[in-house]
Amino acid sequence: MLRLAIIIIFAATVIGALMPSSMPAPADDRREVIQVADLEENQPKSQEVDAGSGAVTLDRSYDGHFYADARVNGATVHFLVDTGATGIALSADDARRAGLAFDTNGAEVIGTGASGAVMGHWVKLNRVELGLKSVSDTPAVILAGGDRSLLGQSFLSEFSSVEVHGDSMVLR
């Protein structure tokens, strides 16, 4: 029963992160109009690793989220940092880049979200690395739909703290 609850929470978090926000901006919001063609998709302004302390500092992206380039099985994967996600979720393209084999037709229900069943594949990642932190043999899911990979608590919990200060996220 507990596993089902965890799966449902994880799936709902994944679906929520993949859905665009429909919340309108306040009328007095004076946002600068940015040409999408001028921006690289979801690229962070910077990602710094302090070799002395092992802290990783991420700058908020133009879309309001934090992204990190971590290594999965030796391949670089561009993750949306999702502090509300239980685990790691990979897009199919990122899973292939990390050398994970899976049957695109053999997806199973891995959870239920607001829009219904969430389909994907349970896998185990050999190694995930960000800065000086790494985990081995960690479970993850490969999502049958969606184009974002999510870095959740199964990895973030390796850091002693995750702090947001203005437009910076610091993982220590």
Q: What is the CATH number of the domain that holds 58?
A: 2.40.70.10
In angstroms, rounded to a whole number, what is the distance separating the alpha carbons of residues 35 and 16? Answer: 25
**Which structural domain, as residue segments, surrounds residue 118?**
2-19+45-171
- What distance in Å separates the CA atoms of residue 145 and residue 162, rounded to the nearest whole number? 28
Whether 26 is covered by a domain: the verdict is no
58 domain-assigned: yes
Give the tokens for residue 109. Answer: 């229900």
pLDDT for residue 70 is more than 90 = yes
Burial 67-93 (b: 16+ CB within 10 A, else e): bbebebeeeebbbbbbeebbbbbbbbe
- pLDDT tens digit sequence for 12-28: 454 444 444 333 344 44
What mean pLDDT is predicted for residues 94-123? 90
**38 inside domain:** no
Q: Is residue 29 part of a domain?
A: no
The secondary element (H helix, E strand) that includes residue 92 is: helix 92-97
Asked whether residue 39 is assigned to any structural domain, the reply reads no
Decide if 32 is inside a domain: no
